[in-house]
Structure 1
């Protein structure tokens, strides 16, 4: 573990009077903790530098250290109940779709430890095996990846034999039985849990995690005949008298983490959030949305690197004092020369705003990028990258973001906050930005906004995406102005509804984001601790879901871009994502319409036509950069939208987004495509509502230049002052 001290919290948002648990892992016997208010997290000497205020608190002092490990790998646990262990002969059957069949041992279903009389139906060296103790029976043939198989193990106490039967299901091959028969010990697992997708090792650990899908696992309390097994493999109903002891139907609980036994009362629970809403062995393609044909979505896709909850013990707790201002705080942890900052966002009490301005920190986007494996990204040249301890920790511990793929090549669709999110920290850069020198991104970049508000003495209430998702329009209604973070990319329908309600009611939004409101996102409705996406194209994306798996398991709604559900940012912000670049940005140039007296307040005190041709703390230069947006009536921008300024002249490393390209023509770079531009926009709403959109991630990273006295800072302040004083 490359971080000697690291931690996370049980919640990201907390209000006065509430308590947050800090869960810390430390390599040494003791460490120190203190509370700080984070103001500016970027130590780049070109800017104002790192800023944090020490806050006296109950967590101050020395704490005992202990190592806490990360136990990845998803599975289903079925707690033992009377009758779950057959008294004599029994049969296990399930459908499997392995994705890494030739990897290490992978357990399909098990009960108890092998050394204590338990059994495990596994894949070993690509073949289906059945183990009891040190005895093993193996089917002859190696499984093919990404092919459905009917797998059964018959334990016949009378004959003293175990019989394996593996039948492939593929349009191009005959349903030939791959069989094995052997005399091995009869399992006696006793009163132990059944695990699906893993097994209990001789140590206290759960291991041998399976990669792939499982559908319709069943245990029968008898020996099934060959004709019965044949009927199962052909999808034919069995005789009524052949009833299972336990029959888990994964199609019944797709939107939660429960597993229902339709034959009795042996219900289970998934662990570490395996992928749900996945096509089963009987999916025929007539429906591509699981809510329309749930019986064809009776599979769960397990991964050996799923991690829904690290499960660490609480090290210390902090109760927010009643008089603590809303702000961004962190527990500053130190152990020798090592340190970590574990952030927590303190909001006002519910229904009791303390300011005219609200800043919504884009925590869904933080989770989407959480622990992105930049050092393992094959698309990036990492030769000269700075070696951050956080990047090494991510790789060494196999942590994954929604931009990564699992070990079996499938995309990561869930991201949890119940684990260390080590790139949601001050002082941490996204390594591939600025030509490999690194620049702040997400949380650390959003502290540029926090710092600017602090330096200009604005009182501001801090909220998170979770708050907006849960509380809806009532959260925003009291505020004169609402600000986004620099990259508010991942939004739920609830967030869209709430913000659009606010705007229609006269609210004013400052979208300080580039590539905002892009992906359909959902907060896990059961636990509230993770988000879900499906990277359905067309879109600029790192992976594509399997056919038929583009709908979110949490809600059943279609994933992908909001644009293709008619709710893209163009339609209500005025501009939407168009391109990105890791190189220097560009300045804006005012449009003729910006000189209309109606918009004079925006440019008060700004000289000339050029805006933001200054050094920047993201990608080194230019207010329009990194990821940026354009206005376009053809994709939904309202005709009432006013483009105040435009930035163009980007190089060909900035490519128009895939969702805009119908035919590959090699003419989508910044030197050729008119779509590769950033448009600063203003869109009026009835009742005095308005959206001002800067359409660039880099904008906020220019705010502090020249002691906060520059045209980017001035325009931002002009608009904010007009918003809060009704001076538009």
Structure 2
């Protein structure tokens, strides 16, 4: 066994060009030093039945011993006004906001606060989920608490008032739907101070309380939504306070209005705008969820772009994590002679008599003005981020039933369960049950590195190893570069390969692939469940993606009604199929089923004997089973599979070369495949559950070849690469790299 977590780290940026600087941010709670070296990753899959870990060290200026220290992680999103104005010397204060709590009773939580040491004020929930307002001056503490806890996921208007003239604290809560036992409305008054304590150095916080320390800087984070928070320097009665909160834009010219945040403004940004006269904008930390339906959302629209005032809520989470904020331990300027590819900072040590080997992954893109190979392999970094630190195998109640076997936990699985502060994947749910809709690379990612989980990153590296073994030169181009550079990232290449699972795709990426194919590019899609989910990259924050999951698609969580549009861009999210661009239109095949119990093999179909595609099957017999072997389930067709479908856009020129249509009862169709429920929908009785191998010509001499299976690339290493999966892949690749046009397709492209 190898310890992969005694030291962890992440690289900034995740994707770097030759000649640029990269920083490595490391942390260890148990080691004082480790040996570091940069390696180019050839194979990241530790499976002993495959090639095993294969890396090459080019030699770098930072190779050698690196001292280590522990750098903590502080999860939890909040907003901060670092230097608030008008809050000192107040005799009275009114706070109002619409609240949608998601974990009342899980511990103390904060709505708004200004606290410094032993003095300040906090409006929030106590440990039992009851609304409370407390004020302290360092010597005394006053508090008023509601009589009953709030309900989960129910909108309520809440207010807190300090009236210095009467020296009282008042709590107000009014349920917005006071029927059928939902009503938690009440007003409670208790004694209070004659004025607010002065805390001139204290920040004003939304959804958290300042600890006054560096570690952690905040605590008592909120789980839930806030909509239209307001601060006022006069002790207001309930009616004017609620009117102030209900107004999306407050009346101008009120000198006592301290702050009026409108979260429907600047939704793609990290700024919560104050539309009051003092303009006390708050900076948001740890990427809370924006474009959330507010207390006034009435179902008239599903898009925040159409009616932003209905999306004035932010959903804060106590476990949000977007940036660990660690300081760099090593920096390196990437040598201009290094090839593009998958790279890692390898860290090794001994701890308690055991070998430690951890990796900090990064990617080097091709130099813009340097030599380009005719072949590019796409690193599916958006998909890697979508799955980053997935805890599904333990969190899903049906995981063993889905996998048709007992779960075998890796050390990474165990570590992640104990260290949720790392942040989870977009397949996981927050502690309050809502889905993780963003993922970033500014944190250690356990399953995107050598020796990590063999899904995605590890599986794709088997293709890299096969290309190296075959002596085929290639560049590596990342999803994010395709997103930001468009067609120019793909245009230099005669052939582009998308590997095992290019599942998460932005509009910009899809447009780039479409333009590449229309312009004569040749595309080998060697995976399954690709081009499936519509995502967005953050407009300014690098290596950060967003997904919204609705009522369609294979999903592990489902967002709230009305919250299906991306905060980063305003675009609808969900499946590309539901957005009018099914994968079949781009690559001829699209996702149809999961097959986790075992993988199958392909048999040839009549189109495969057409002389125009004879090159694909050179050396493969007419009755030969294709891929009845492999590292994933014992076959080349499995895990997740795709099929051609003319009704979803598979082109008329498509040739159906081979199929695996014997996937058994373990072949479970994707939800969007089931229009009605009936018996006989699994792979042992459903002809639509299959993996299709296809070829079709595109414009200007281009072409697309697909295998329709995640498991395909995991069959490449079988028998040292001497197998028909590798032969077919090599046949197609060599022909796609040959610029000669495909004969016989002149009237079908």
Query: Is contact 1:114–1:132 with CA below 8 Å preserved after alignment?
Result: no
- Deviation, 1:344, is 1.3
Find the partner of 1:640 among 653, 659, 664. Answer: 653
Find the partner of 1:394 among 402, 413, 416. Answer: 416
Matched residues in 2 for 1:100 and 1:56: separation? 51
Query: Is contact 2:627–2:724 with CA below 8 Å preserved after alignment?
Result: no
Number of the residue aligned with 1:419: 443
* Aligned partner of residue 581 in structure 1, secondary structure: strand
* Aligned partner of residue 582 in structure 1, secondary structure: strand
Query: Is contact 2:228–2:245 with CA below 8 Å preserved after alignment?
Result: no
Find the partner of 2:200 among 190, 201, 208. Answer: 190
* Aligned partner of residue 314 in structure 1, secondary structure: coil
Gap change, CA 1:137 and 1:471, over 3 Å in 2? same
Tell me whether 1:209 sits opposite 2:236 in the alignment.
no
Number of the residue aligned with 2:209: 199
Tell me whether 1:674 sits opposite 2:714 in the alignment.
no
Tell me whether 1:380 sits opposite 2:399 in the alignment.
yes
Alignment of 1:22-41 (within 5 A): 22-26=24-28, 27-41=30-44
* Aligned partner of residue 348 in structure 1, secondary structure: coil
- Deviation, 1:227, is 3.5
* Aligned partner of residue 227 in structure 2, secondary structure: strand
Matched residues in 1 for 2:178 and 2:666: separation? 44
Number of the residue aligned with 2:152: 145
Matched residues in 1 for 2:691 and 2:472: separation? 28
- Deviation, 1:270, is 0.9
Find the partner of 2:637 among 616, 619, 624. Answer: 624
Matched residues in 1 for 2:584 and 2:248: separation? 51
Matched residues in 2 for 1:234 and 1:614: separation? 64
Number of the residue aligned with 2:745: none
Number of the residue aligned with 1:492: 506
Q: Which runs of 5+ in 2 are unaligned?
A: 743-749
Tell me whether 1:245 sits opposite 2:285 in the alignment.
no
Residues 162-187 of structure 1, C-alpha deviations (whole Å, 9 max, x = no match): 11111110163798741111123433
Number of the residue aligned with 1:355: 373
Query: Is contact 1:258–1:267 with CA below 8 Å preserved after alignment?
Result: yes
Matched residues in 1 for 2:248 and 2:386: separation? 42
Gap change, CA 1:592 and 1:256, over 3 Å in 2? same
Number of the residue aligned with 1:593: 607
Residues 611-667 of structure 1, C-alpha deviations (whole Å, 9 max, x = no match): 434321122x11111111000112221222111101011121211111011111132
Judge which range, 38-47 or 640-649, deviates more.
38-47
Query: Is contact 2:53–2:451 with CA below 8 Å preserved after alignment?
Result: yes
Number of the residue aligned with 1:437: none
Divergent runs of 4+, >6 A: 173-176, 233-241
Normalising by structure 2, report the TM-score: 0.93
Alignment of 1:575-590 (within 5 A): 575-590=589-604
Judge which range, 1-10 or 696-705, deviates more.
1-10
- Deviation, 1:351, is 4.4
* Aligned partner of residue 495 in structure 1, secondary structure: helix
Query: Is contact 1:12–1:343 with CA below 8 Å preserved after alignment?
Result: yes
Gap change, CA 1:138 and 1:187, over 3 Å in 2? farther
- Deviation, 1:119, is 3.4
Query: Is contact 1:109–1:122 with CA below 8 Å preserved after alignment?
Result: no
Find the partner of 2:431 among 399, 403, 407. Answer: 407
Gap change, CA 1:230 and 1:468, over 3 Å in 2? closer
Find the partner of 2:496 among 440, 464, 482. Answer: 482
* Aligned partner of residue 442 in structure 1, secondary structure: helix
Gap change, CA 1:191 and 1:470, over 3 Å in 2? same
Number of the residue aligned with 1:365: 383
Residues 527-549 of structure 1, C-alpha deviations (whole Å, 9 max, x = no match): 12310011123211111110000
Query: Is contact 1:199–1:209 with CA below 8 Å preserved after alignment?
Result: yes
Find the partner of 1:13 among 1, 12, 15. Answer: 15
Number of the residue aligned with 1:540: 554
Judge which range, 447-456 or 607-616, deviates more.
607-616
Query: Is contact 1:601–1:718 with CA below 8 Å preserved after alignment?
Result: yes
- Deviation, 1:142, is 1.7
Tell me whether 1:339 sits opposite 2:347 in the alignment.
no
Matched residues in 1 for 2:103 and 2:4: separation? 28
- Deviation, 1:226, is 3.8
Query: Is contact 1:90–1:221 with CA below 8 Å preserved after alignment?
Result: yes
* Aligned partner of residue 69 in structure 1, secondary structure: coil
Matched residues in 2 for 1:720 and 1:239: separation? 66
- Deviation, 1:385, is 3.3
Matched residues in 2 for 1:226 and 1:529: separation? 45
Matched residues in 1 for 2:41 and 2:525: separation? 22
Number of the residue aligned with 1:436: none
Number of the residue aligned with 2:473: 459
Matched residues in 2 for 1:645 and 1:177: separation? 65
Number of the residue aligned with 1:321: 335
Tell me whether 1:79 sits opposite 2:91 in the alignment.
no
* Aligned partner of residue 465 in structure 2, secondary structure: helix
Query: Is contact 1:120–1:199 with CA below 8 Å preserved after alignment?
Result: no
Query: Is contact 2:577–2:583 with CA below 8 Å preserved after alignment?
Result: yes
Query: Is contact 2:535–2:545 with CA below 8 Å preserved after alignment?
Result: yes
Judge which range, 599-608 or 358-367, deviates more.
599-608
Query: Is contact 2:271–2:281 with CA below 8 Å preserved after alignment?
Result: yes
Tell me whether 1:157 sits opposite 2:164 in the alignment.
yes
* Aligned partner of residue 251 in structure 1, secondary structure: coil
Query: Is contact 1:371–1:401 with CA below 8 Å preserved after alignment?
Result: yes
Matched residues in 2 for 1:344 and 1:233: separation? 46
Matched residues in 2 for 1:367 and 1:220: separation? 42
Q: How many residue pairs get matched? A: 717
- Deviation, 1:232, is 4.7
Normalising by structure 1, report the TM-score: 0.95
Number of the residue aligned with 1:709: 722
* Aligned partner of residue 393 in structure 1, secondary structure: helix
Alignment of 1:115-154 (within 5 A): 115-133=118-136, 134-154=141-161
Matched residues in 1 for 2:426 and 2:90: separation? 45
- Deviation, 1:678, is 0.5
* Aligned partner of residue 728 in structure 2, secondary structure: helix
* Aligned partner of residue 683 in structure 2, secondary structure: coil
- Deviation, 1:683, is 1.9
- Deviation, 1:233, is 7.0
Find the partner of 1:473 among 464, 478, 487. Answer: 487
Residues 208-243 of structure 1, C-alpha deviations (whole Å, 9 max, x = no match): 111100000111111113431354577699876755
Matched residues in 2 for 1:352 and 1:288: separation? 46
